[in-house]
Amino acid sequence: MSPFTVHYGAMNQAPPREALPDRLRGIALLGIVVVNAAYLGISLEGLTQASVEGTANLITALLVVTFAQGKFYLLFSFLFGYSASFILRDNSAPNRRRYLRRLIALFLFGLAHAVFFFVGDILITYSILGLLLFFVSRTSDKVLRRWTIAAIAVAVFLILSITALTAAFPAEGSSFGGLEKVMATGTFTQVALARLEALPVIVPAVFLLQGPMAFAAFTLGLRASRHHLLADPAANIEFWRRMARWGWGIGLPLQVIAAGLQVSEIASSDLLPLAGAAGLALGFITAPLLTAGYIGSIALIIARRPNFLSVMAPAGRMSLTVYIGESALLSLVFAGYGLGFFGQWGALPVVLTSIASWAALSIFAWLWMKKFTQGPLEFVLALLTGKPHGTNSSSGAGCAAKQTN
């Protein structure tokens, strides 16, 4: 299910594994940790004035906001919907129950992730929105399109409302100073308890800011899966070209403007009044365009060079392990119970550290998948979810690994 490894049954005959989704997940894991790193290593509100001082830090911040912020969680969300279809498409009672158990398991993983490593976790939001996806999964493409439009409309309204309120009532200093102090100096238990105390505020904020657009991506992924859009990139060349043109021709210039507004405001005052809030709103609202450009461009290249980005596939196949592992590694670098560098580095070293964590875990995934069919946390997820419907006990595990999307 989700961007996380899905196993579905097809009796004894499994279709070939689709290459493109795994590679997209591997790329999404890089983009997500590059964005999350600021919240794990700089402040709970992300980039600060001090973190963008100097040319190198300023350029790093501009690149992260332009190319990563708000884009890769949408790619993950699209793949969530795409992969959920492989469980829900036959509408059998065992698979419906299995899907719901997976949502519960993802919620528990997300809660543990938020408490112990990264308070801005997205899995909790995914597990809640996954229920709505469950109820709309049997509707027609036409109805799903309406859900997509409605979700985007809600997302735009909430983003504009939240950013307008931020501009109208700017906070002086961090809203999470107490938690940041604990993160910088506290023990593992103290930090976990502080994160748990902050969850009632942070989880709704994440849900409102990212949830509606994520659900729109869910529905697009579900529709794409129905038409096997990612199964054979070479079969949809013109479609990928249109996505790439829209993404790079329109999406990128808008993101450059949005990033300039945000980062210049952060660099000048460490607050988000009108210009910064406008940039934040523009960035999140138009992020789907550049995300589409990424998908279209990668699909075009893979259509011509089938082995392109194959090195990303192992991490994509165990993306739950890598996603949580990235936060765990960065926590050890920045939290007080680890090396204790929280709030002490600029944007460049923080981002470089996040890339190193992704690279280390990608190598781990490559080595692990040479011996096993599932990642460590994917194995636990499968145990919590139950055996795929339609597989027998002797061949289910191996068959499911080949059928994963």
Angle (CA) 315 15 303, round 5°: 60
Q: Phi-psi bin for 140: left (phi > 0), alpha (psi -120 to 50), beta?
A: beta
Residue 45 lies in a domain: yes
Enclosing H/E stretch for 322: helix 319-334
Closest CA to 405 of 89, 173, 69: 89
Angle (CA) 100 395 137, round 5°: 25
Residue 326 lies in a domain: yes
Residue 250 lies in a domain: no
Residue 272 lies in a domain: no
DSSP bridge partners of 12: 10
> What is the DSSP-derived secondary structure letter of residue 250?
I
Place of tokens 């790439």: 244
Q: How many domains does the chain have?
A: 1
User: How far is it, in rounded angstroms, from Cα 156 to Cα 134?
Assistant: 23
| pLDDT of 389 | 46
Residue 285 lies in a domain: no
Q: How many residues does the chain have?
A: 405
Residue 11 lies in a domain: no
Gyration radius from the chain CA atoms: 20
- The domain in which residue 60 lies consists of 19-241+307-403
Residue type, 90: D
Distance of CA 391 to the CA centre of its chain: 30
- Structural tokens at position 298: 């990668």
Residue 144 lies in a domain: yes
pTM, entire model: 0.88
Residue 297 lies in a domain: no
- 376 by Cβ neighbours in 10 Å (0-12 / 13-18 / 19+) ranks as middle
Closest CA to 122 of 110, 130, 108: 110
pLDDT by position in tens, the chain (length 405): 444 444 433 334 445 678 899 999 999 999 999 999 999 999 998 999 999 999 999 999 999 999 999 999 999 999 999 998 888 877 788 888 899 999 999 999 999 999 999 999 999 999 999 999 999 998 999 999 999 999 999 999 999 998 888 777 766 656 677 888 999 999 999 999 999 999 999 999 999 999 999 999 999 999 999 999 999 999 999 999 999 999 999 999 999 999 999 999 898 865 556 888 899 999 999 999 999 999 999 999 999 999 999 999 999 999 999 999 999 999 999 999 999 999 999 999 999 999 999 999 999 999 999 999 999 999 999 998 876 544 333 333 333 333 333
